[in-house]
Amino acid sequence: MRSLSGVVLALALAALLGCSEQAAVISAPALRKPPPAASLPAADAEVPFHYSGGGGRDPFASYVLRMRDIERRSKEADATPLERFDLTQLQLQAIIWGSDRARALVLDPSGKGYVIGVGSPIGKNDGRVVRIADNVVLVKETYVDFRGRATTKDIEMRLSGAAQGG
């Protein structure tokens, strides 16, 4: 029995020594010096919060819409004069027959004339001339909705009443 109590006593002593070393390691950071009081704000002093958003990007702005806007601006810079106007601002003035391909004369709001043919770009919404008939020019425009889906629409530009003789 004595040897058993000796073993228990040895284990208890080892456990105590192990704990005291851990306690010394744990308490070592507590022995460091605290920073000087002058560098810390007073406990009762309120530090006002100020946000300056200048120069930074908006975290809630849509990346897709921003890229579409950049693409639209670059396309506007490369656009022909007729692509800078809406189709409602343009006026079909005459249709020219007698050659191998039909042509049409379109006036912009300032009165400047442009000759167009099948395949000519026209209008702000990626319009293309599809067909030129007796008194009408058919334009196919492509619209892109907010989801990025492309939708096409056929728009007829008709000769004005004075140009038709009526």
Q: CA–CA separation, 45 vs 139, rounded Å?
A: 70
Domain ranges of the chain: 81-164
Say how far apart CA 148 and CA 143 lie, in whole Å.
Answer: 9
Q: Which CATH number fits domain 81-164: 1.10.10.10, 3.90.226.10, 3.40.1010.10, 2.30.30.830?
A: 2.30.30.830
pLDDT 10s digits, 89-145: 999 999 988 778 899 999 999 999 999 999 999 988 888 999 998 889 999 998 777
The pLDDT tens digits of the residues spanning 19-56 come to 544 444 555 555 566 666 566 666 666 777 776 767 77
What is residue 24's predicted lDDT score, i.e. its pLDDT? Answer: 47
Verdict on whether the full-model pTM lies above 0.85: no
Q: What is the DSSP letter of 28?
A: T
Task: Show Cβ contacts of residue 79 under 8 Å, excluding neighbours closer than 6 positions.
Answer: 121
Of all helices (H) and strands (E), which one includes residue 136?
strand 136-144
